[in-house]
Structure formats: structure tokens, C-alpha cells
């Protein structure tokens, strides 16, 4: 096997268990569980104490049902025309943020003789998902059809909860409470109030309500290392490690140019290793020498541009690494997802979610 991702399911269980001690947990397993593997991670999260699962796409929710997962599941990014027949038949909760979508889902429910389970999403200031200008119309529609659906949840999403001293989250929370009060005044009684993502679950205990939505923290990664500290600072255990083989090891001289464009220059006589992973496998092409691999107890930084299927690392002149050896791109002792994120000027979310499916996942 040229390369593989190793996922520590016990770490995922441990991370979930930490939060489940004080709050009901919805485990966010969208985007193939942030690249870790949808079904294995969903089952591990439930074993760790999560009571709900959340996905963005309806097909992800249906895949969970096909795998025999019976826990409550919500899909929240479901535009008009989706397969709501399968959703209702599979007892998948749906997020609603417009009168039009509500009408479509209710109509399908009538045909099937199934009362849809819905969560009302309100836009409290992120200005992405959720009802905003159609609030009054949606409330009217909900009241008019109150016997034709089951209002399970009422929720929103925070834009800046990873900034602990930013007042915007408190403003969003106040707006959320105001909208909830209006819903109650209209006779609507959602069962579960949820608004806290991983960052808010850590920074804003007042936002926990009935349930938190645990995303990046479940995978052992900090929502933002700069503003909130590292995984270790937060008591989280990263679940993903990545390993790949060296295809070739060879010596180069000081001044030799390496890779496309010749932008990588050996500063000393050294030994380089060609690693069989590249940007087609999900490594960001923009990554610089702040990332690399861990081999024989040492860090070997990237040198030159990442290619489609391979990258080059500076092993050091005295390295004993050989072709065929496995090296660690992400591991507990070596480079982290945060290191790779810094090297590519991005965030750890992107690093783990972009690892391609052609890199097999192994579970431990």
C-alpha cells in the first residue's frame, strides 16, 4: 500500500465522551466525517455518547441509514427537488428555512402519509443559511400547517464563535433567543434547541441549550489554534494520521533546484526523499517547508512544489531512510494537521477533509 490514512476511533469516542458528560451531543459527520470515514466515525461517535448525527447532504444521511445506523439524523443542506420521499421514508430530519421548502416537504409528507420531522433554521447574523427576510411568512406557514409536521428543532449557526472575546456571538445568541420567543408566542414548541458548534461548545457555555453540534473538536482538532489554542491545550486527541512510502531516496548537492519551477533549492549537500503522495491525494499544492514528514524520529520538511502524485522532502545528509520506508505526513509525534494548515495558509478543516478517497482509510 503506497499510502493510507489511519483513523483512531477510540480517540473519536474519547473526544465525544468529554463533551457528552455535560451536554447532549449531535456528532457532525458531514463530508465523509471530515475525511475520516462516514459510517465508522458515526458508529464510534454514538458509542462515545452522541445521541444524534448531523450531515449537510441528504445522500449522506441516506448512506447512514443504508449502513444500518438508526440514530436520529438531521440533514441541513437540502435544496428544493431533493429526494424527500426517501428522506421521509428513512425517518431523516430536515432543516427548513423558507416557506417554499416547508410547503414542498409537507406536500410529500401528505402523499406518503408521513408527518415530516423538521428543524427551523434561523439566520441570526451569519447571513448564510437560515430564514431571514421571510421570517413572518415562514412562521405563518408553520402555524397554518401545524398539524402536518413535527417541529423537532430550532437552531442557528455562529459566525465567530472561535474568537473568544468577540461580542458578535453574544449578539447572535440574543437574536436567536428573540426569534425563539416569537416562535413560542406563535404557539410553536420545538423540542430541541441547538446552536453551539465546537467553538461555541468550548467558549460559550450559555449557548449549549438542549444539544451541541460537535464537529471539528470530535476529530481532536482545535476550531482555531491561534485564538483557542492547540488540540493539546483543549484536551483533544487528533484522530487522523497519514502515512506514505518513499518511492526513491537520493543525494543532491547544495544549490540543486528541486521540483517544478526549480523553486526548491538545496541549501546544503543533502539527501532527499520522494514521497508517493501529492495534490491529487489532497495535499495542498501551496504548502511550504513548514510541513513535511516524520521519519526515524526526525522531521523532514518539504522542499520544492508538491506535484500531482508525489512530493519531495529534505531528509538530511545523514538520514538512513530508504526507498520503501513509510513516513508520516500527519502523526502524533510529527507534523499535525495544524502544521500543514499553516504551511498552506488555510485551516485544519480543509487539510483533513480534502484527503482523497484514493488514499485508503484504516481504522484502529
Domain 9-220, classified CATH 3.30.470.20, yes or no? no
Residue 349, classed as helix, strand or coil, is helix
Which one from 110, 146, 250, 260 is the annotated catalytic residue?
260
Q: Specify the length of the chain in residues.
A: 364
Domain spans in the chain, listed from the N-terminal domain onward: 9-220, 240-363
Burial zone of 309 (CB within 10 Å; 0-12 exposed, 13-18 middle, 19+ buried): middle
What is the rounded distance in angstroms from the CA atom of residue 174 to the CA atom of residue 180? 10
**Three-class SS string for 252-276?**
ECCCCEECHHHCEECCCCEEEEEEC
Residue with cell 466525517: 33
Cβ count near 104 (within 10 Å): 19
Which one from 4, 30, 115, 237 is the annotated catalytic residue?
30
Active site annotation includes 30? yes
Write down the pLDDT at residue 221: 98
Which residue stretches of the chain have pLDDT < 50? none
What is the rounded distance in angstroms from the CA atom of residue 352 to the CA atom of residue 337? 7
Longest CA pairwise span in the chain (Å): 77
pTM here? 0.96
Write down the pLDDT at residue 158: 98
Cβ count near 344 (within 10 Å): 20
For domain 240-363, the CATH class is mainly beta
Write down the pLDDT at residue 165: 85
Active site annotation includes 245? no
Amino acid at each position: 500500500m503506497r499510502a493510507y490514512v489511519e483513523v483512531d476511533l477510540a480517540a473519536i469516542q474519547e473526544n465525544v465522551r468529554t463533551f457528552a458528560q455535560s451536554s447532549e451531543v449531535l456528532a457532525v459527520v458531514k463530508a465523509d466525517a471530515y475525511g475520516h470515514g462516514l459510517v465508522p466515525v458515526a458508529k464510534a461517535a454514538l458509542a462515545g455518547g452522541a445521541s444524534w448525527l448531523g450531515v449537510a447532504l441528504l445522500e449522506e444521511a441516506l448512506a447512514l441509514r443504508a449502513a444500518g445506523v438508526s440514530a436520529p439524523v438531521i440533514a441541513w443542506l437540502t435544496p428544493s427537488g431533493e429526494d424527500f420521499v426517501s428522506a421521509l421514508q428513512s425517518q431523516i430530519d430536515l432543516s427548513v428555512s423558507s416557506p417554499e421548502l416547508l410547503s414542498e416537504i409537507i406536500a410529500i409528507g401528505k402523499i406518503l402519509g408521513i408527518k415530516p420531522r423538521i428543524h427551523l433554521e434561523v439566520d441570526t447574523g451569519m447571513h448564510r443559511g437560515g430564514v431571514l427576510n421571510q421570517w413572518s411568512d415562514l412562521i405563518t406557514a408553520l402555524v397554518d400547517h401545524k398539524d402536518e409536521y413535527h417541529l423537532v428543532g430550532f437552531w442557528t449557526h455562529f459566525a465567530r464563535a472561535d474568537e473568544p472575546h468577540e461580542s458578535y456571538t453574544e449578539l447572535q445568541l440574543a437574536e436567536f433567543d428573540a426569534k425563539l420567543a416569537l416562535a413560542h408566542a406563535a404557539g410553536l414548541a420545538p423540542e430541541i434547541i441547538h446552536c453551539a458548534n465546537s467553538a461555541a461548545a468550548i467558549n460559550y457555555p450559555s449557548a449549549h441549550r438542549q444539544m451541541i453540534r460537535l464537529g471539528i473538536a470530535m476529530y481532536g482538532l482545535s476550531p482555531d489554534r491561534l485564538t483557542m489554542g492547540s488540540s493539546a491545550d483543549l484536551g483533544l486527541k487528533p484522530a487522523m494520521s497519514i502515512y506514505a512510502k518513499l518511492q526513491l531516496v537520493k543525494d543532491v548537492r547544495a544549490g540543486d533546484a528541486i521540483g517544478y519551477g526549480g523553486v526548491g533549492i538545496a541549501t546544503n549537500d543533502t539527501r532527499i526523499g520522494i514521497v508517493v503522495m501529492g495534490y491529487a491525494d489532497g495535499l495542498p499544492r501551496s504548502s511550504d517547508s513548514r510541513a513535511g514528514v516524520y521519519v526515524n524520529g526526525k522531521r523532514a520538511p518539504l522542499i520544492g512544489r508538491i506535484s500531482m502524485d508525489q512530493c519531495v522532502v529534505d531528509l538530511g545528509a545523514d538520514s538512513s531512510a530508504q526507498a520503501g520506508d513509510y513516513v508520516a505526513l500527519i502523526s502524533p509525534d510529527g507534523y499535525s494537521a495544524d502544521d500543514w494548515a499553516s504551511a498552506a495558509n488555510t485551516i485544519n478543516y480543509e487539510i483533513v477533509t480534502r484527503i482523497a478517497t484514493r488514499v485508503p482509510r484504516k481504522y484502529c
